[in-house]
Amino acid sequence: MQHAFEAGTLVAIIAGIVGYFVVLRRSSFAAHALSHIGFAGAAGAVLIGISPVFGLLLFTSVGGIGITALGPRASHRDVQIGTVLAFMLGLGVLFISLYTGYATEAYSILFGEILGISSLDVIVTAVAAMIILCAVAAVYRPLLFASLDEEVAEAKGLPMHMLGIVFMLLVALATSIAVQVVGVLLIFSLMVTPAAIAQRLAKQPWRALLASVIVSLLATWLGLFVAFYEPYPVSFFITSIVFIFYMVVRFIYPRIRWNPIRAQTKPLINRHYADQPCQ
């Protein structure tokens, strides 16, 4: 339980941060695909008898660079990414069937098994988390600018290709460690939804990042807490809590806020145009 809490906390922080860039770059499908590519890696690692996290790291990193190699705006190439994704899932199924051990291994890769996490996994998670934090701190402003305004950033001479690769490697690393908590299939709940919630709560990137981290932390901690008393999977609780947060922010929050960030309709009269004499 202590391992689960440590790893869960690290993963929640990282997923909240990296997830914000995923949402900003509209690359959630690429992130989703990376976790599926990681499935083959994790299954392969289990087959040869090492910790799944190493297989995840290898496959997602190679997959991330591969997606970048498809060219600029690669994260929107749904068909190509989807094709590779399906192939990798198939490969994962093969590895799992070759593995003669317990079927629970496959189950825990797909849906996460944080309670069974080892101390080695916690160390790997901590190292990966440190690397991600340092990398995000280093590329924070250029990555933010390139994500928000690609064309102007390119014209300003930002190294777009390099930033694309750095971003995909960040996603690969974050996905690899997040899979331990929520599994390959439920990666959205930590990598995308908290950031999407945060984007509705805050207009400034650093505040949104903070909100994203808080949401994923709350969901992870609450999930672990409930799972301690109830005999159901942690990932179920985490995904449910995140889902409830999302519904509240999406549908109830705009109504109770006197000045919603995202006004549903544009103002009919524009103040400063109205002020100016019309020629």
Partner 1 sequence: MTVTQSIAIPTTMQQEIVTAENLVAGYPGKTVWRGASFGFDRGELVAIIGPNGAGKTTLFRLLLGLQQPISGLIKIFNDQPKRGNPRIGYVPQRHIIDSETNVECLELVHLAFCGHRWGFHLSSKMGRKTALDALEAVGAAELAHQPLSVLSGGELQRVFLAEALVSNPDLLLLDEPLSSLDIRRAKELVQLVDRVVRSRNVTALLVAHDINPLLPYLDKVVYIANGKVATGKPKEVLTSERLSALYDVHVEVIRDSRGNVAIIGIEDHHGDEQ
Residue closer to partner 1 by CB (options 6, 150) is 150
Identity of the residue, 255 or 272, whose beta carbon is nearer to partner 1 in the bound complex: 272
Binding mask 127-166 for partner 1 (x = CB under 8 A): ---------xxxxxxx-xxx-xx-xxxxxxxx--------
Both tokens of 261, joined, read 């960030």
Please count the residues of this chain forming the interface with partner 1, following the rule CB under 8 A: 43
Stretch 221-250 residues interacting with partner 1 (CB under 8 A): none
CB of 57 to partner 1, least distance (A): 25
Query: From CA 213, how far away is CA 159, in angstroms rounded?
Result: 28
Terminal alpha carbon distance of the chain: 71
- Half-sphere CA count of 156, side-chain side, radius 13 A: 9
Q: How many CA atoms lie within 13 A of 76 on its CB side?
A: 5
Amino acid identity of 24? L
Pick 94 or 131: Cβ nearer partner 1: 131
- Of residues 252 through 271, those in contact with partner 1 by CB under 8 A are 261-263, 266, 270-271
Per CB under 8 A, 93 contacts partner 1? no
Q: Which of 242, 119, 110, 260 has its CA nearest to residue 181?
A: 110
* Spatial separation of the C-alpha atoms in residues 224 and 227, rounded to whole Å: 5
Site mask, partner 1, residues 168-207, x = CB under 8 A?
Answer: ----------------------------x--xx-xxxxx-
CA distance 170 to 262: 29
Closer residue to partner 1, CB minimum distance, 23 or 224: 23
Cβ-based neighbours of 21, under 8 Å, separated by 6 or more: 143, 144, 147, 167, 170
Q: Pattern of binders to partner 1 over 8-27, x per CB under 8 A?
A: ---------------xx-x-
Smallest separation (angstroms) from partner 1 to the CB of 261: 6
Tokens 């709560």 sit at which residue?
201
Site of interaction with partner 1 (CB under 8 A): 23-24, 26, 136-142, 144-146, 148-149, 151-158, 196, 199-200, 202-206, 208, 261-263, 266, 270-273, 276, 278-279
